[in-house]
Amino acid sequence: MKIDLLEFEKRCRRIANILEKNKVTFVYGVPRGGLIPAVRISHMNDIALLTTLDKSIPVQYVAIIDEILDSGETRKKYSQYNNFFVLVNKKEEKINEWVTFFWEEEDEQEKKKERQLKYELQTQLSEKANKPYQELDI
C-alpha cells in the first residue's frame, strides 16, 4: 500500500480536526516516522511542535503522532498520552501488506522491509524459545 501526498494530506487533516476539537496545543512526532506528519499537523492547526516531551506540560494538551500502528510497541511506550494518533492503523484498516509513504525512497523501503522481517523473526524466535522442540515456520 502506498500513501501518496493527497492521501497523506487527508489523513493529516482528519487528525488535525480531532486535535482542534480536543483543544490540543502541542504535537510531538515519534522519531522517525512520526516527524513528517507531526510537522504537517502543527502547520495545519498552527500549534507548537515539540522536539522533546516536556513533563511540565499536562498530557491532555499533547498529541503524539506516528505514521503506522502495527505491533503496538510504540503505543505502549506513550501509553500515558490519550491523544495518540497514527496515519495508518494496520489492524483497524485490515492492512496485511507493506505500507510506504511518498517521502520514502526505494532503497529506504527495502531496508525498512528487511528490518521488519528481522523483527518478526526475532519475535518468533523468542516466542519459540519458551516452547522447546518446535520447529520455526519461517
Query: DSSP string of 28-88?
Result: EEPTTTTHHHHHHHHHHHT-EEESS--TTS-GGGEEEEEEEESSSHHHHHTTT-S-EEEEE
Enter the pTM of the model: 0.74
| pLDDT beyond 70 at 135 | no
Amino acid 106: pLDDT: 66
Amino acid 109: pLDDT: 65
Q: Distances in Å between the alpha carbon of 59 and those of 75, 77, 100, 128? A: 15, 14, 30, 38
Domains (ranges, CATH) in the chain? 2-103 (3.40.50.2020)
Per the CB < 8 A criterion, the answer to whether 13 and 5 are in contact is no
Q: How large a percentage of the chain has pLDDT more than 70?
A: 89
Place of cell 518478526: 120
Amino acid 136: pLDDT: 47
Amino acid 53: pLDDT: 93
Amino acid 131: pLDDT: 55
| pLDDT beyond 90 at 134 | no
Which of 8-12, 55-59, 89-93, 108-112 is least confident?
108-112
In tens, the pLDDT along 3-22 reads: 999 999 999 999 999 999 99
